[in-house]
Amino acid sequence: MPEQITHGVEVLDDHEAVASVAKSDPPISGQMRRYRTAFGRTGTRLLRQAEAGDADACVRLAVVTLLHGWQGEAREWLRRARVEGHRDARALQPDARKLAADLAFQYGCEYEDSETDKTSIAMLFHQLAAGEGHAEAAFQLGKIYAQKGDQWSAATWFSRAANHDHTHAAAKFNAISKQLSSAPWSDDGVPIDLI
Protein backbone atom coordinates (compact mmCIF):
# COMPACT_ATOMS: atom_id res chain seq x y z
CA MET A 1 0.00 0.00 0.00
CA PRO A 2 1.46 3.41 -0.91
CA GLU A 3 2.46 5.67 1.94
CA GLN A 4 1.68 9.38 1.92
CA ILE A 5 4.48 11.78 2.76
CA THR A 6 3.90 15.28 4.06
CA HIS A 7 3.88 16.99 0.66
CA GLY A 8 1.19 14.73 -0.77
CA VAL A 9 3.56 12.65 -2.95
CA GLU A 10 2.93 8.90 -3.02
CA VAL A 11 5.88 6.67 -2.25
CA LEU A 12 5.61 3.37 -4.11
CA ASP A 13 7.43 0.20 -3.23
CA ASP A 14 9.48 -1.46 -6.04
CA HIS A 15 6.67 -3.79 -7.12
CA GLU A 16 4.15 -0.96 -7.39
CA ALA A 17 6.64 1.28 -9.26
CA VAL A 18 7.31 -1.43 -11.86
CA ALA A 19 3.57 -2.04 -12.30
CA SER A 20 2.97 1.70 -12.69
CA VAL A 21 5.66 2.05 -15.38
CA ALA A 22 4.39 -1.04 -17.22
CA LYS A 23 0.87 0.45 -17.34
CA SER A 24 2.12 3.78 -18.77
CA ASP A 25 4.36 2.38 -21.54
CA PRO A 26 2.51 1.98 -24.83
CA PRO A 27 2.81 -1.52 -26.28
CA ILE A 28 5.38 -1.96 -29.03
CA SER A 29 4.06 -3.82 -32.04
CA GLY A 30 5.98 -6.55 -33.82
CA GLN A 31 6.16 -4.33 -36.88
CA MET A 32 7.70 -1.53 -34.77
CA ARG A 33 10.32 -3.97 -33.45
CA ARG A 34 11.16 -5.19 -36.97
CA TYR A 35 11.52 -1.63 -38.27
CA ARG A 36 13.67 -0.67 -35.27
CA THR A 37 15.91 -3.70 -35.88
CA ALA A 38 16.20 -3.13 -39.65
CA PHE A 39 16.32 0.68 -39.83
CA GLY A 40 17.02 1.97 -36.30
CA ARG A 41 15.22 4.94 -34.80
CA THR A 42 14.67 6.34 -38.29
CA GLY A 43 12.53 3.32 -39.12
CA THR A 44 10.38 3.65 -36.03
CA ARG A 45 9.97 7.40 -36.51
CA LEU A 46 8.95 6.95 -40.15
CA LEU A 47 6.57 4.14 -39.17
CA ARG A 48 4.85 6.33 -36.56
CA GLN A 49 4.55 9.21 -39.05
CA ALA A 50 3.26 6.96 -41.83
CA GLU A 51 0.69 5.32 -39.57
CA ALA A 52 -0.50 8.84 -38.69
CA GLY A 53 -1.16 9.51 -42.40
CA ASP A 54 2.04 11.32 -43.46
CA ALA A 55 2.30 10.57 -47.21
CA ASP A 56 5.97 11.56 -47.40
CA ALA A 57 6.82 9.09 -44.61
CA CYS A 58 4.83 6.42 -46.46
CA VAL A 59 6.95 6.91 -49.60
CA ARG A 60 10.19 6.90 -47.60
CA LEU A 61 9.11 3.66 -45.92
CA ALA A 62 8.23 2.24 -49.34
CA VAL A 63 11.76 3.08 -50.50
CA VAL A 64 13.53 1.52 -47.50
CA THR A 65 11.30 -1.58 -47.39
CA LEU A 66 11.60 -2.09 -51.14
CA LEU A 67 15.39 -1.84 -51.04
CA HIS A 68 15.44 -4.09 -47.98
CA GLY A 69 13.51 -6.75 -49.89
CA TRP A 70 10.14 -6.38 -48.16
CA GLN A 71 8.08 -6.19 -51.36
CA GLY A 72 4.65 -6.63 -49.76
CA GLU A 73 5.20 -3.88 -47.24
CA ALA A 74 6.60 -1.60 -49.93
CA ARG A 75 3.41 -2.08 -51.95
CA GLU A 76 1.27 -1.25 -48.92
CA TRP A 77 3.21 1.95 -48.12
CA LEU A 78 2.93 2.99 -51.78
CA ARG A 79 -0.79 2.32 -51.74
CA ARG A 80 -1.21 4.52 -48.66
CA ALA A 81 0.90 7.29 -50.20
CA ARG A 82 -1.09 7.13 -53.46
CA VAL A 83 -4.33 7.50 -51.50
CA GLU A 84 -2.86 10.72 -50.09
CA GLY A 85 -1.86 11.85 -53.61
CA HIS A 86 1.92 11.79 -53.17
CA ARG A 87 3.63 12.42 -56.54
CA ASP A 88 6.51 9.94 -56.07
CA ALA A 89 4.13 7.14 -55.08
CA ARG A 90 2.48 7.27 -58.48
CA ALA A 91 5.82 6.82 -60.28
CA LEU A 92 7.37 4.28 -57.91
CA GLN A 93 6.38 0.67 -58.46
CA PRO A 94 7.49 -2.13 -56.14
CA ASP A 95 9.70 -3.61 -58.87
CA ALA A 96 11.28 -0.24 -59.74
CA ARG A 97 14.38 -0.67 -57.61
CA LYS A 98 16.40 1.86 -59.60
CA LEU A 99 13.88 4.62 -58.93
CA ALA A 100 13.80 3.58 -55.26
CA ALA A 101 17.61 3.82 -55.15
CA ASP A 102 17.45 7.28 -56.76
CA LEU A 103 14.89 8.41 -54.18
CA ALA A 104 16.95 6.92 -51.33
CA PHE A 105 19.98 8.89 -52.57
CA GLN A 106 17.86 12.05 -52.80
CA TYR A 107 16.55 11.55 -49.25
CA GLY A 108 20.09 10.94 -48.03
CA CYS A 109 21.20 14.24 -49.55
CA GLU A 110 18.26 16.03 -47.92
CA TYR A 111 19.29 14.68 -44.53
CA GLU A 112 22.91 15.70 -45.16
CA ASP A 113 21.76 19.24 -45.96
CA SER A 114 19.60 19.41 -42.82
CA GLU A 115 20.38 22.18 -40.33
CA THR A 116 20.74 19.60 -37.55
CA ASP A 117 23.21 16.72 -37.73
CA LYS A 118 21.36 13.87 -39.40
CA THR A 119 24.39 12.17 -40.90
CA SER A 120 23.43 8.73 -39.59
CA ILE A 121 20.01 8.99 -41.26
CA ALA A 122 21.65 10.18 -44.48
CA MET A 123 24.01 7.21 -44.32
CA LEU A 124 21.09 4.78 -43.99
CA PHE A 125 19.51 6.09 -47.19
CA HIS A 126 22.85 6.27 -49.03
CA GLN A 127 23.68 2.68 -48.04
CA LEU A 128 20.33 1.47 -49.35
CA ALA A 129 20.89 3.28 -52.64
CA ALA A 130 24.52 2.15 -52.94
CA GLY A 131 23.40 -1.41 -52.32
CA GLU A 132 21.45 -1.12 -55.57
CA GLY A 133 24.52 0.08 -57.47
CA HIS A 134 23.89 3.83 -57.12
CA ALA A 135 27.40 5.21 -57.77
CA GLU A 136 26.77 8.71 -56.41
CA ALA A 137 25.39 7.31 -53.14
CA ALA A 138 28.49 5.13 -52.73
CA PHE A 139 30.67 8.18 -53.44
CA GLN A 140 28.78 10.23 -50.83
CA LEU A 141 29.32 7.46 -48.27
CA GLY A 142 33.03 7.53 -49.10
CA LYS A 143 33.11 11.27 -48.45
CA ILE A 144 31.20 10.93 -45.17
CA TYR A 145 33.51 8.19 -43.90
CA ALA A 146 36.58 10.18 -44.97
CA GLN A 147 35.27 13.21 -43.05
CA LYS A 148 34.78 10.99 -40.01
CA GLY A 149 38.37 9.77 -40.32
CA ASP A 150 37.44 6.18 -41.19
CA GLN A 151 39.77 5.76 -44.16
CA TRP A 152 39.13 2.01 -44.53
CA SER A 153 35.39 2.46 -44.94
CA ALA A 154 35.93 5.49 -47.17
CA ALA A 155 38.19 3.42 -49.44
CA THR A 156 35.56 0.66 -49.59
CA TRP A 157 32.79 3.04 -50.67
CA PHE A 158 35.02 4.93 -53.14
CA SER A 159 35.96 1.56 -54.64
CA ARG A 160 32.29 0.61 -55.01
CA ALA A 161 31.52 3.97 -56.61
CA ALA A 162 34.47 3.55 -59.01
CA ASN A 163 33.23 0.06 -59.92
CA HIS A 164 29.97 1.72 -60.97
CA ASP A 165 31.82 4.26 -63.13
CA HIS A 166 31.68 7.30 -60.86
CA THR A 167 33.96 9.91 -62.42
CA HIS A 168 35.88 11.04 -59.32
CA ALA A 169 35.73 7.91 -57.19
CA ALA A 170 38.82 6.19 -58.62
CA ALA A 171 41.00 9.21 -57.84
CA LYS A 172 39.65 9.36 -54.26
CA PHE A 173 40.17 5.61 -53.85
CA ASN A 174 43.75 5.82 -55.18
CA ALA A 175 44.59 8.73 -52.85
CA ILE A 176 43.27 6.92 -49.77
CA SER A 177 44.92 3.64 -50.83
CA LYS A 178 48.25 5.44 -51.19
CA GLN A 179 47.78 7.02 -47.77
CA LEU A 180 46.93 3.65 -46.21
CA SER A 181 49.81 1.82 -47.88
CA SER A 182 52.43 4.44 -46.94
CA ALA A 183 51.39 4.70 -43.29
CA PRO A 184 53.57 2.92 -40.73
CA TRP A 185 51.83 -0.21 -39.40
CA SER A 186 51.46 -1.42 -35.81
CA ASP A 187 52.15 -5.00 -34.75
CA ASP A 188 48.45 -5.83 -34.94
CA GLY A 189 48.10 -4.76 -38.58
CA VAL A 190 46.65 -1.25 -38.23
CA PRO A 191 48.24 1.86 -39.81
CA ILE A 192 49.65 3.90 -36.90
CA ASP A 193 48.78 7.30 -38.42
CA LEU A 194 45.13 6.21 -38.67
CA ILE A 195 44.65 4.85 -35.15
Asked, for residue 129, whether it belongs to a domain, the answer is no
Asked, for residue 57, whether it belongs to a domain, the answer is yes
Considering the entire predicted model, what is its pTM? 0.59
Give me the sign of the Cα torsion angle 170, 171, 177, 178: positive
Q: What does the pLDDT average to over 153-174?
A: 89
Asked, for residue 104, whether it belongs to a domain, the answer is no
User: Of the candidates 76, 77, 70, 128, which has an alpha carbon nearest to the alpha carbon of residue 98?
Assistant: 128
- Tell me the residue type at 64: V
Q: Which span out of 20-24, 82-86, 87-91, 188-192 was modeled with the highest average pLDDT?
A: 82-86
Asked, for residue 140, whether it belongs to a domain, the answer is no
Asked, for residue 12, whether it belongs to a domain, the answer is no
Asked, for residue 39, whether it belongs to a domain, the answer is yes
Asked, for residue 106, whether it belongs to a domain, the answer is no
pLDDT band at 192 (very low <50, low <70, confident <90, very high): low
The domain total for the chain is 1
On whether the CB atoms of residues 11 and 20 are closer than 8 A, the answer is: no
Range of the domain at 80: 30-92
Alpha helices per DSSP H over 25-150 = 30-51, 55-68, 71-83, 87-91, 97-112, 119-131, 135-148
How much is the pLDDT for 75?
A: 87
Asked, for residue 67, whether it belongs to a domain, the answer is yes
User: Of the candidates 100, 115, 105, which has an alpha carbon nearest to the alpha carbon of residue 140?
Assistant: 105
